[in-house]
């Protein structure tokens, strides 16, 4: 738990990994989180305080939050989509909050029933709530590279949103490749512009693996200056057979990629494989991780 890491991975399986799955029990989530904690990962996105009608899998957010005090060495966070969600999160004891602003108006309307500008404007209120509880706020710009409705997101639009979100109170920022279509050249371009636009602000990136280039994009982000990356045990996140939904990059594959190259993640790969098995068991179906498949084939 000490020392400076080359790459600081945030595990998102309990939130992004589970959010489109059939709801699993809070006990199953506790089992998954315990396995993730055992990997040595320092940050875990544990749940989301969002509409239980829209995302039934996250309806037990407060119950999940109650579990977390048993792991005091891990920084747990929750995702919110509104000031109300932020209030519920801090009431549940969560002090690390991710608030999503979509770079695409169409997606923002579909996802949160408000325009990008309206969602952005609420950042100040979310920040006040989080800071009032002694917490820290991260703004995730969703559809940072592409939107399924609007096509490519202009680099200038995403970068502008990052700057505004920071001004409105975000302590850290994250670029969300929400649909998993980013590729290394465009990742390098956007990250390079973002690093220049908000120097000194912790900047993360979040990739899915829809077209197989998720790990290459993560590597490109690292090369361009990103040191905070999201990943999900087993590559959980979206059923591979559901239109438009695909898994996050797999934590164990990302850990292997960096650690094999001598770059420290603070995460134990063997424990990651165990966590990926738990993730697959919790959702009751195969997960996309190639590394998990290779390790299973060997044993």
* Segment lying near its own copies (by CB under 8 A), choices 11-19, 56-64, 199-207, 290-298: 290-298
| Length of the chain counted residue by residue | 299
Contact between 154 and its own copies (CB under 8 A)? no
Rounded Cα gap, residues 157 and 236, in angstroms: 29
Residues 163-192 that bind its own copies (CB under 8 A): 180-181, 183-186
* Contact (CB, 8 A) for 226 and 192: no
Q: Per-residue contact track with its own copies, 5 to 44, x per CB under 8 A?
A: ----------------------------------------
Rounded Cα gap, residues 162 and 101, in angstroms: 10
Rounded Cα gap, residues 117 and 105, in angstroms: 8
Residues 187-216 that bind its own copies (CB under 8 A): 209-213, 215-216
Rounded Cα gap, residues 76 and 276, in angstroms: 19
Q: Per-residue contact track with its own copies, 224 to 243, x per CB under 8 A?
A: ----------------xxxx
Q: Where are the alpha helices (DSSP H) in 68-183?
A: 83-91, 105-112, 116-121, 123-132, 155-167
Cβ closer to its own copies: 198 or 215?
215
Cβ closer to its own copies: 1 or 242?
242
Closest CB 243 distance from its own copies, rounded Å:
5
* Contact (CB, 8 A) for 118 and 153: no
Contact between 219 and its own copies (CB under 8 A)? yes
Closest CB 257 distance from its own copies, rounded Å:
5
What is residue 196's three-state secondary structure? Answer: helix
Closest CB 20 distance from its own copies, rounded Å:
13
Cβ closer to its own copies: 17 or 85?
17
Q: Say how many C-beta atoms besides its own lie within 10 A of residue 89's C-beta.
A: 30
Token pair in block for residue 78: 């929750």
Closest CB 175 distance from its own copies, rounded Å:
16
Rg (alpha carbons) of the chain, rounded to whole number: 17
Catalytic-residue membership of 239: yes
Q: Which DSSP helix (H) or strand (E) runs through 255?
A: helix 251-260
Residue reference for tokens 């875990």? 44
Cβ closer to its own copies: 11 or 60?
11
Choose which of 25, 27, 263, 264 interacts with its own copies (CB under 8 A).
Answer: 263
Total residues contacting its own copies by CB under 8 A comes to: 40
What is residue 49's three-state secondary structure? Answer: strand
* Contact (CB, 8 A) for 204 and 138: yes
Contact between 260 and its own copies (CB under 8 A)? yes
Active site residues: 239
Applying CB under 8 A, which residues contact its own copies? 180-181, 183-186, 209-213, 215-216, 218-220, 240-246, 250, 253, 256-258, 260-263, 288-291, 293-294, 297-298
């Amino acid at each position: 738990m000490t020392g400076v890491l080359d790459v600081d991975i945030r595990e998102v399986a309990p939130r992004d990994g589970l959010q489109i799955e059939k709801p699993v029990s809070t006990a199953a989530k506790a089992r998954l989180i315990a396995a993730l904690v055992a990997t040595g990962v320092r940050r875990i996105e544990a749940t989301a305080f969002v509409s239980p009608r829209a995302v039934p899998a996250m309806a037990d957010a407060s119950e999940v939050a109650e579990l977390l005090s048993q792991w005091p060495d891990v920084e747990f966070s929750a995702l919110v989509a509104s000031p109300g969600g932020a209030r519920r999160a801090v009431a549940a004891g969560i002090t690390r909050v991710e608030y999503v602003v979509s770079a695409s108006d169409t997606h923002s309307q579909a996802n949160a029933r408000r325009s990008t500008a309206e969602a952005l404007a609420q950042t100040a209120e979310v920040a006040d709530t989080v800071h009032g509880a002694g917490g820290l706020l991260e703004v995730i710009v969703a559809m940072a590279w592409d939107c399924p409705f609007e096509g490519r997101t202009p680099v200038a639009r995403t970068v502008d949103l990052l700057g505004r979100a920071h001004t409105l109170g975000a302590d850290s920022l994250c670029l969300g490749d929400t649909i998993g279509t980013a590729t290394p050249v465009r990742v390098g371009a956007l990250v390079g512009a973002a690093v220049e636009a908000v120097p000194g602000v912790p900047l993360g990136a979040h990739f899915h693996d829809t077209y197989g280039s998720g790990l290459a994009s993560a590597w490109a982000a690292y090369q361009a200056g990103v040191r905070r990356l999201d990943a999900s045990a087993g590559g959980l996140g979206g059923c591979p057979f559901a239109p438009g939904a695909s898994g996050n990059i797999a934590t164990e594959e990302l850990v292997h990629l960096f650690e094999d190259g001598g770059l420290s993640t603070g995460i134990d790969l063997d424990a990651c494989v165990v966590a990926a098995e738990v993730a697959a068991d919790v959702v009751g179906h195969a997960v996309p991780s190639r590394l998990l498949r290779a390790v299973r084939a060997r044993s």
